[in-house]
Amino acid sequence: MDLPRTFTIRESEHRIHNPFDERKLADLGAALHLKPGMRMLDLASGSGEMLCSWARDHRLTGTGVDVSTAFTAKARARAAELDVAEQVSFVHGDASGYVSSEPVDVAACIGATWIGGGVAGTIELLRRSLRPGGLMLIGEPFWRKTPPDRETVTACHMGSRDDLFALPGLVAHFGRIGYDQVEMVLADQDSWDRYAAAQWLNTRRWLDQNPEDELAAQMRAELTAAPLQHILYQREYLGWGVFVLMAR
């Protein structure tokens, strides 16, 4: 049980596996008015930067769960680096079935709603771990602009236009399934660039070091296409944000 190697190659040096930078992640933590001793569950926690940095800055405790062995190891190392290893723990496992043994104050899934089969299913999964009145964090892409053709949809790594909401539709969807949206922080084109462009450097360095690897041809083709694809399509049409919800 693990992530595909292609993903871990692209994001091998990432601490944040989504289009947020450190400033936006800190802004989100500040917006939540986190208090010392609050407990958090982070499903698909990646390299643990959100949980570790918030444990340092806000003195919360919590658990992260992720399917990647490489990223789980990085998360544990980051916890030690920030001196929060006594406050947070990281589990290598399938987040799609993980429910906390005790209710948490904050339950999050940032950029991986596939674990619940989509937004609604992931919200239902998080709800099972969240105390009444707790905060739920959903990180999700949306259409910044309606894609005009199939080429744009494909270049944004979507199967169809219907795979994503536009921003108003996503917010309305939260309301329809019984949640108030009480905060949000959105990525911008610069933070998208930082996320995407760092993948290109990671990939190039991996290719230089592994020219005979079975994935080399695939990763070379991806690197050749990725910068222009990002500039023409992804940064123009894809939005992304973290939406903070409370059950009505």
Predicted pLDDT at 2: 84
- For residue range 117-134, what is the model confidence (pLDDT) as tens digits? 999 999 999 999 999 999
Predicted pLDDT at 140: 98
Would the pTM of this model clear 0.85, i.e. be above it?
Answer: yes
CA-based nearest residue to 202, from 8, 1, 66, 17: 8
Q: What is the pLDDT averaged over residues 199-220?
A: 98
What six digits make up the tokens of 210? 């592994």
Which CATH number is 5-146+163-188+240-247's, of 3.40.50.300, 3.40.50.150, 3.30.70.1520, 3.50.50.60? 3.40.50.150
Does residue 80 surpass a pLDDT of 90? yes
| Helix %, strand %, coil % of the chain (to 5) | 45, 25, 30
Contacts 24+ apart (CB under 8 A), 33-36: 34/58, 34/60, 34/106, 35/60, 36/60
Question: Residue 78, CB half-sphere, CA atoms under 13 Å: how many?
Answer: 26
Using an 8 Å Cβ cutoff, are 38 and 102 in contact? Answer: no
Q: To the nearest whole percent, how much of the chain has pLDDT over 70?
A: 100
Q: What is the pLDDT averaged over residues 31-43?
A: 97
Query: Exposed, middle or buried by CB within 10 Å (0-12, 13-18, 19+), for 212?
Result: exposed
Rounded to a whole number of angstroms, the distance between the first and last alpha carbons of the chain is: 36
Does residue 12 surpass a pLDDT of 80? yes
Q: What is the pLDDT averaged over residues 69-96?
A: 97
Instruction: Give the C-alpha separation, 128 to 131, whole Å.
Output: 8
Handedness of CA 150, 153, 159, 163 (dihedral sign): negative
Predicted pLDDT at 131: 98
Name the band, by pLDDT with cuts 50, 70 and 90, for residue 48: very high
Using an 8 Å Cβ cutoff, are 192 and 240 in contact? Answer: yes
Name the band, by pLDDT with cuts 50, 70 and 90, for residue 1: confident
Predicted pLDDT at 220: 98
Instruction: Give the C-alpha separation, 91 to 36, whole Å.
Output: 22
What six digits make up the tokens of 76? 């544990």
Does residue 116 surpass a pLDDT of 90? yes
Does residue 23 surpass a pLDDT of 80? yes
Name the band, by pLDDT with cuts 50, 70 and 90, for residue 30: very high
- For residue range 139-197, what is the model confidence (pLDDT) as tens digits? 999 999 999 999 999 999 999 999 999 999 999 999 999 999 999 999 999 999 999 99
Mean pLDDT of the chain: 97
Query: Exposed, middle or buried by CB within 10 Å (0-12, 13-18, 19+), for 135?
Result: buried
> What ranges do the domains of the chain cover?
5-146+163-188+240-247
Q: To the nearest whole percent, how much of the chain has pLDDT over 90?
A: 98
Instruction: Give the C-alpha separation, 213 to 84, whole Å.
Output: 37
Handedness of CA 87, 62, 18, 53 (dihedral sign): negative
- Residue carrying structure tokens 């208090």: 35
Q: What is the pLDDT averaged over residues 2-12?
A: 94
